[in-house]
């Protein structure tokens, strides 16, 4: 079943089928396989075995459920009799163990983020990667007893059964996630499974996406015109440019909504980018008062996202109606990429982590009417940048850090009432809650503040250990600098206001300016700056620094900042009126999401 690279048949059975059990990384598995030159597709986990026949390999994804709970995602047991090689990842390993005679049970404690794997046996899965190595975990359940015919292939300190294999039947399971960038030898492990074990052949070129997407745009548009609400970020700009190329200037328009939730200088930057693409294609709608007013008194993060999303739809509908864009020959274009849909429960079993503004009810209605075009919906951020390079878009745009659609609103945390900090053995428990993802499920928990310096040796490892040990927290921060002692601070009743947004905007501008000047901005994938209502009566807010490294946003690693840069940043941030302290987020993803809300 060999094809010319770049011309994989999408009608015949693909060489690799990934069975989706609801994991956050399901599409990431497929993309990593395609990066290795093998075409793969995702199917529902319960797909009948007969529909999988002909595949050379079956990969069972991770997921948020427990295999021993009623109604949890399952696979057709007959899939093990097809002769295909099988790889189970995380929940997938547990399903293999359950079906083939092993035992799965809840672990003594969870394991989220970085861990160290020791390989325990030779074999094709470890070819070229044997020995102690960094991996990425996100689980609490684990295999306790191996199925008959399997041998133990790897262990970690927390998880004795981290990898298993039955070489004769070509069945393998790993509790860790080889598909994420922070499993340092994960690419080679997947390559070993595909080529050494499953016997796959290269039939896919992952770098030639532009022509395929443009063909899809022309097919979906079907003679209609496309109107974009653009943010000026990489995704919406690349999507707009693809439509412009595919359909021509007469059929594509863009409008930028200034929500009042934007960064300093953002509107001017976006205007410059789109005017360079073509005059008369772009306009600005000023809607600051409508957005900020709608958020008054709201503290819940999901409610904030819904309000912003629905306000976007309201503003969009008003603009569309006034410009006759609701007529049958116009459809709405969006720069939605895959993580937006997977984290909003966009696959059949994925747990809702957070609602993205382009997946709220108003947008869903347009989707049902087939009035939406999303050229990038199967791509991840790094793939979008690759397409942007093929389009010759300026590097100044393509190298920009991702910025959330809801803007600074989800970086400006609020509180309904005053609450006191609580002294703990390892630090201070802050009554500030943030969103996390643990074991592929959403968490909304408190923050633990350490009085350690963020530059202390081993501080990230300490943070990971504390999160794995205490179920009441999903995020750990270090005290980088403060005007007042933590013991005198409280969480204050707060909401989104012009004053707090200005405070956050000023802090964000300082961080961006210093990061750019020092070159640190090039060392990180994203650098959210967050305002939390922690402080004293005269200084009611604190700033959180969140520099992370990632490839696609599905996983992320907290990054240590050079000490001279951090020192100067703290000095300038503490000069902002109303700021009591500067905190440093030590949390990886998982267990903490990149954004706090």
Comparing CA positions, the residue from 63, 61, 58, 62 lying closest to residue 86 is: 58
pLDDT score, position 366: 67
Ranges 357-371, 415-429, 457-471, most confident: 415-429
Distances (CA, A) of 573 to 448, 547, 569: 21, 16, 6
Phi-psi region of 82 (alpha: psi -120 to 50; beta: other; left: phi over 0): alpha
Q: Where along the chain do its domains lie?
A: 16-197, 210-408, 412-585
Most confident among 105-119, 123-137, 342-356, 391-405 (mean pLDDT):
123-137
- Residue 206: the pLDDT is 57
Question: Comparing C-alpha atoms, which of 380, 475, 476 is closest to residue 437?
Answer: 475
List, by residue number, the catalytic residues.
Answer: 90, 177, 179
Instruction: Tell me the average pLDDT across 289-296.
Output: 94
Average pLDDT over residues 61-67: 89
Q: Tell me, what's the pLDDT at 449? A: 98
**CATH for the 412-585 domain, from 3.30.300.10, 3.20.20.140, 3.40.630.30, 3.20.20.330:** 3.30.300.10
**In the structure, what pLDDT confidence band is assigned to residue 357 with cuts at 50, 70 and 90?**
very low
Q: Does 513 sit behind a cis peptide bond, omega within 30 degrees of 0 on the bond before it?
A: no
pLDDT of residue 496: 95
- Looking at residue 349, what is its pLDDT? 52
Average pLDDT for 427-439: 87
pLDDT at 364: 62
Q: Decide yes or no: CATH 3.40.50.10330 for domain 16-197.
A: no
Residues 256 and 278: their CA atoms lie apart, in Å, by 15
CB 137 within 8 A of CB 111: yes
Helix (H) or strand (E) holding 150: none
Taking the CA atoms of 144, 175, 444 and 531 in sequence, report the sign of the dihedral they define: positive
Q: How many CB atoms lie within 10 A of CB 211?
A: 11
Contact 527, 513 (CB under 8 A): no
Please write the tens of the pLDDT for every residue from 1-14. 333 333 333 446 89
Query: What is the pLDDT averaged over residues 237-244?
Result: 96
Structure tokens at 137: 């975990």
Q: How far apart are CA 252 and CA 588, in angstroms?
A: 40
Q: Is the peptide bond before 281 cis (omega within 30 degrees of 0)?
A: no
> Is the pLDDT score of 279 beyond 60?
yes
Cβ contacts of 428-431, under 8 Å, gap ≥ 24: 428/486, 429/472, 429/473, 430/491, 430/532, 430/534, 431/491
Contact 42, 196 (CB under 8 A): no
pLDDT at 338: 64
Higher local confidence (pLDDT), 524 or 208: 524
What beta strand segments (E) does 289-377 contain? 330-333, 372-373
Find the DSSP H helices in 140-207.
186-191
Domain 210-408, CATH = 3.40.50.620
pLDDT at 359: 46
Residue 439's pLDDT band, with cuts at 50, 70 and 90, is low
pLDDT in tens, 528-564: 999 999 999 999 999 999 999 987 777 889 999 999 9
Average pLDDT, the chain: 89
What pLDDT was estimated at residue 442? Answer: 78
Domains 16-197 and 210-408 fall in the same CATH topology: yes
* pLDDT value of position 58: 98
Q: What is the pLDDT of residue 458?
A: 93
Contact 243, 226 (CB under 8 A): yes
Determine which of 330-344, 356-370, 436-450 has the lowest per-residue pLDDT on average: 356-370
Distance CA 250, CA 531 (A): 43
pLDDT over 80 (residue 342): no
- pLDDT recorded at residue 6: 38
What per-residue confidence (pLDDT) applies to 148? 98
Does the pLDDT value for residue 185 go beyond 80?
yes
The pLDDT, as a whole number, for residue 551 is 75
Please give the average per-residue pLDDT across 49-72, as a whole number. Answer: 93
Q: pLDDT tens across 88-134, in order?
A: 999 999 999 999 999 999 876 777 778 999 999 989 999 999 999 99
pLDDT of residue 191: 98
472-488, pLDDT tens digit by residue?
999 999 999 999 999 99
The pair of structure tokens assigned to 446 is 């408190």
């Amino acid at each position: 079943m060999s094809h010319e690279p770049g011309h994989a048949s999408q009608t015949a059975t693909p060489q690799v089928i990934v069975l989706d059990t609801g994991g956050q990384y399901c599409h990431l598995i497929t993309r990593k396989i395609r990066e290795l030159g093998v075409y793969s597709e995702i199917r529902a986990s319960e797909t009948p075995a007969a529909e999988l026949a002909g595949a050379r390999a079956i990969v069972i994804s991770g997921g948020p459920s427990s295999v021993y709970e009623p109604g949890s995602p399952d696979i057709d047991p007959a899939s093990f009799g097809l002769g295909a090689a099988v790889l189970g990842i995380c929940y997938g390993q547990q399903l293999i163990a359950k079906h083939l005679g092993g035992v799965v049970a809840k672990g003594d404690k969870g394991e989220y983020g970085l861990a160290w794997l020791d390989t325990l046996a030779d074999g094709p899965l470890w070819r070229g990667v044997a020995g102690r190595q960094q991996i990425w975990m996100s689980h609490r359940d684990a295999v306790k007893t191996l199925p008959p015919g399997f041998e133990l292939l790897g262990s970690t300190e927390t998880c004795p059964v981290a990898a298993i294999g039955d070489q004769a039947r070509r069945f393998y399971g790993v509790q860790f996630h080889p598909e994420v960038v922070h499993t340092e030898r994960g690419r080679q492990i997947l390559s070993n499974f595909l080529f050494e074990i499953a016997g796959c052949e290269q039939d896919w070129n992952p770098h030639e996406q532009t022509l395929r997407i443009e063909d899809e745009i022309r097919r979906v548009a079907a003679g209609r015109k496309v109107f974009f609400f653009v943010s000026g970020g990489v995704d919406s700009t690349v999507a707009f440019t693809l439509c412009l190329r595919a359909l021509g200037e007469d059929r594509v328009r863009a409008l930028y909504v200034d929500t009042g939730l934007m960064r300093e200088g953002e509107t001017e930057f976006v205007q410059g980018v789109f005017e360079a693409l073509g005059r008369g294609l772009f306009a600005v709608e000023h809607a600051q008062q409508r957005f900020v007013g709608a958020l008054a008194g709201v503290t819940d993060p999901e409610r904030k996202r819904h309000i912003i999303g629905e306000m976007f739809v309201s503003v969009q509908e008003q603009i569309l109606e006034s410009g006759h864009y609701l007529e049958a020959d116009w459809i709405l274009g969006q720069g939605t990429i895959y993580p937006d849909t997977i984290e909003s429960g966009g696959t059949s079993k994925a747990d809702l982590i957070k609602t993205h503004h382009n997946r709220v009810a108003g947008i869903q209605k347009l989707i049902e009417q087939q009035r939406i075009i999303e050229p990038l919906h199967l791509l991840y951020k790094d793939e979008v940048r690759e397409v942007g390079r093929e389009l010759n878009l300026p590097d100044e745009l393509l190298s920009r850090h991702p910025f959330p659609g809801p803007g600074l609103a989800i970086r400006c945390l609020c509180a309904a009432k005053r609450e006191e900090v609580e002294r703990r053995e390892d630090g201070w428990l802050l009554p500030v809650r943030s969103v996390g993802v643990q074991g592929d499920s959403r968490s909304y928990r408190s923050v633990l503040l350490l009085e350690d310096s963020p530059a202390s040796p081993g501080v990230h490892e300490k943070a990971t250990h504390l999160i794995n040990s205490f179920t009441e927290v999903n995020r750990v921060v270090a005290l980088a600098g403060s005007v007042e002692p933590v013991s005198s601070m409280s969480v204050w009743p707060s909401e989104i206001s012009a004053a707090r947004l200005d405070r956050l905007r000023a802090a964000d501008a300082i961080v961006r300016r210093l990061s750019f000047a020092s070159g640190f901005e090039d060392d990180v994938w994203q650098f959210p700056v967050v305002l939390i209502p922690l402080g004293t009566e005269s200084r009611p807010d604190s700033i959180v620094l969140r520099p992370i490294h990632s490839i696609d946003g599905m996983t992320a690693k907290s990054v240590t900042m050079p000490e001279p840069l951090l020192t100067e940043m703290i000095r300038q941030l503490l000069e902002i009126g109303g700021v009591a302290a500067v905190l440093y987020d030590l949390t990886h993803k998982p267990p903490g999401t990149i954004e706090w809300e």
